[in-house]
Amino acid sequence: MSTTPEIPDPGLILETPRLVLHRPTRADAPRMAELANDVAIAENLSILPHPYGLDDAHAYIDNTEVSAARINLGVYLAGEADGFIGTASLMPRDGERFVVGYWIGRPFWGKGYATEAVQAVVDLAFGRLGVEAVAATARVTNGSSRRVLEKCGFQFAGSGMGPSLHHRGMVPIDRFRLERSIWMSLKNWAAKPGGAARSA
């Protein structure tokens, strides 16, 4: 392990070229409820209720955590008041220390924001938190999320079934994994002139 693990401060702020990530506050709840109330988000996450209202947003925000065990961050457009556009998290699951989770509100899809946010939390996991691997899952039908993971360097690690609150049962998923060695290679390539296109 090349870094000293560091427990993040609850006031942790991650900055990327276009985004700021930090713990969400109750002021974000109306916009969170508006953006998350989308079946295309609920059907691709394991436990997002649908319909999604203000009470759901308050419950999520009140239970967010920024600790060595789990990290739940809001994703915001840098420099914009009321710039909340989604969430990104690192959560323990299935014996993995961190599984990355994320959603971005539909009006903001296709602009590279999820990729930028995932790269930021992945950099946090390998950097300050010193983990050896980060895991992810995506429904087999979720081409967009699979593409995000691919752009971040994740590799296919097998198929299985995962829980879906929306479908009230289990759905087919693929598992993905990013090892520290791959992440370090990507960071090194990106640091060289003409290197890989990693923005975080």
Ligand X SMILES: CC(C)(COP(=O)(O)OP(=O)(O)OC[C@H]1O[C@@H](n2cnc3c(N)ncnc32)[C@H](O)[C@@H]1OP(=O)(O)O)[C@@H](O)C(=O)NCCC(=O)NCCS
Binding residues for ligand X (CB under 6 A): 40-41, 44-45, 102-104, 109-115, 138, 142-145, 147-148
Q: Quote the CA–CA distance of 127 and 118 in Å, as a whole number.
A: 14
Our CB check for ligand X shows the closer of 104 and 131 to be 104
Q: Quote the CA–CA distance of 136 and 155 in Å, as a whole number.
A: 10
Residue type at 15 in one-letter notation: E
C-beta nearest to ligand X: residue:
143
User: Minimum CB separation from ligand X for residue 1, in Å?
Assistant: 27
User: Minimum CB separation from ligand X for residue 3, in Å?
Assistant: 26
Our CB check for ligand X shows the closer of 97 and 146 to be 146
Instruction: Report helix, strand or coil for 33.
Output: helix
Tokens encoding 80: 């914009």
Our CB check for ligand X shows the closer of 130 and 171 to be 171
Q: Quote the CA–CA distance of 120 and 110 in Å, as a whole number.
A: 18
User: Minimum CB separation from ligand X for residue 6, in Å?
Assistant: 27
Please count the residues of the chain. Answer: 200
